[in-house]
Structure 1
Amino acid sequence: MKLSTVFLLAALGFCAVYAADVVDGEVTEDSTRATTEDDDLTIGASPDAALAFQFVQPADANTINEVYGGSPVKFLIGFQNRGEKDFIVKFSETSYRYPLDFNYYLQNFTRGEYNRRVAPKEEVTLDYAFFTHESLAGRSLGLVVNVHYEDADGKYFINNVYNQTITVVEDDSGFNGETGFMFLIFVALGIGALYVANQFLSKLSRKSGLQKRSTVEQGTSGNEVDYEWIPRDIIKNSEKKSPIAGSPKARKAKKTD
């Protein structure tokens, strides 16, 4: 995979890849040496390999040396074979060190396994990502990235591609994974509450409508009276004593008065 134009120019600008020793709390550059963790054996970088390093997340870490706590850190490593033999890039190792003495490890991250063969005059881009815990926010740490590789003859090399003090800062973007998750929960709860309220109001409206309809059905309309349950002799006597208003007998009684 070819490097981008900018990244290629950066890689070609490396006359030698630097490594670092710590002297009185300061990082001093050494272009040829890196030290293994196992036996403190100093192994140099191959003169036929040119390596470059670049952060991609956060991108501004390349200039201000700051990463965000609680967020992933991602970077690219460019490897260029300038020699006549194949190289095999084995892996990269990344670690946080005590900033006043890089010999003290604070955290080792999982190795980036590559096992990539790089032919003569070929270039490849390797990537890696690790997570910086949010509890480290506000602290300065030494970040060290080493690349292990060997040539076709089995000769082993280590290049130190990054060795600087960085500051872990809080992510003030206002939106992270936890915030997004909580936002989705509140939205779901709001939708659920609206649904329950709508169902309750719907049931209440249906009950109110049934009560209104039952009241109308139970009542009587107009002057309809059910006389079937009244004995006939009572009805006859009441008609004689109290003529119905508007009947011929009632009108006749009025005229007589």
Structure 2
Amino acid sequence: MIFENDKVAVYAQDGDSVEGEDDEDTVVENEDGVEDADQAVTDLPAGHTIRFLVGFTNKGEKTFTVQSLECSFRYPQDYNFFIQNYTTAQYNQDVGSRKQATFEYGFTPNEGFAGRPFGLSILLNYKDEEGNSFMSPVFNETVNIVEPDEGLIDGETFFLYVFLAAIAVLLLVGAQQLLASFSKKHRSKKSHRQPVEMGTQNTDVDYDWIPKETLERDLNKSPGRSPKQSPRQRKSKRTAGSGEE
């Protein structure tokens, strides 16, 4: 893929240079050294830092000063409309005659841009010894911002699994507490229903050894409790009883 203007010839390929119409060439290189530049710059992962190298070769007799590099996303249908401007990298590096210099730049596409196409514009600013300034488009094409490949489980899926596991643990704890409360109430009701042992009763009692007068006196008593008597009253009653005999 080649870009040309009246000053430079630019293309994105690994390491080669293209003869320009003037004294300088600009070469864009992908850091991974991928030969297929179209594939290297078409799909960019959202939320990941994209780094690239720009090679500048001075084939003339004058010294050029590479000043800065600008990067921006633009509306694909109208490159005059800016969507996002990234920080301008300042280099201010002199490139002498028959010399070459490489410049690195990096930017991070916003995660909200995933799934959308954007116009990627990369501009290189430089000047000659007389102070004449130039701006050359290093890259000016439409790219696709794609979801990053995180492997089998991405961050959102991982946190979803953690959230579901926490809910499952809470449900298990709640069920255990409910079962324990129900078992406790059941045991409490069962303990209240247990009969109280009264002991064994035997009606075969031998009353022959008890004096007859005592038995008759006990039988003639009312079911209520007899009033208490003083020792003097009990003594007088015994005396009266012995006199009658």
Aligned to 2:65: 88
Distance 1:63 1:161 in 2: 14
Taking a change above 3 Å as real, the CA distance of residues 7 and 59 of structure 1, as seen in their structure-2 partners, is closer
Alignment of 1:89-238 (within 5 A): 89-174=66-151, 179=155
Q: Structure 2 residue aligned with 1:15, among 20, 24, 28? A: 20
Query: TM-score scaled to structure 1, two decimals?
Result: 0.51
Taking a change above 3 Å as real, the CA distance of residues 118 and 58 of structure 1, as seen in their structure-2 partners, is closer
Displacement of 1:99 in angstroms is 0.4
Runs (5+) with no aligned partner, structure 2: 1-12, 163-245
Q: 1:69–1:168: 8 Å Cα contact kept in structure 2?
A: yes
Taking a change above 3 Å as real, the CA distance of residues 60 and 71 of structure 1, as seen in their structure-2 partners, is farther
What amino acid is the match of 1:67?
A: L
Taking a change above 3 Å as real, the CA distance of residues 153 and 83 of structure 1, as seen in their structure-2 partners, is same
RMSD between aligned alpha carbons? 2.8
Distance 1:114 1:135 in 2: 30
Aligned residue for 1:132, secondary structure, equals coil
Aligned residue for 1:71, secondary structure, equals coil
Percent of aligned pairs with the same amino acid:
32
Deviation track 1:111-143 (CA, whole Å, cap 9, x = no partner) reads 011111100000010000001111110000000
Distance 1:93 1:122 in 2: 23
Aligned residue-pair number:
145
Find the structure with the greater CA-based Rg: 2
Higher relative contact order, structure no. (Cα contacts within 8 Å, ≥ 6 residues apart): 1
Deviation track 1:39-89 (CA, whole Å, cap 9, x = no partner) reads xxxxxxxx2110011232695882221100011111110000011111100
Higher strand content, 1 or 2: 1
Runs (5+) with no aligned partner, structure 1: 1-5, 17-46, 187-257
Q: 1:58–1:74: 8 Å Cα contact kept in structure 2?
A: no
Distance 2:74 2:51 in 1: 18
Distance 1:60 1:80 in 2: 20
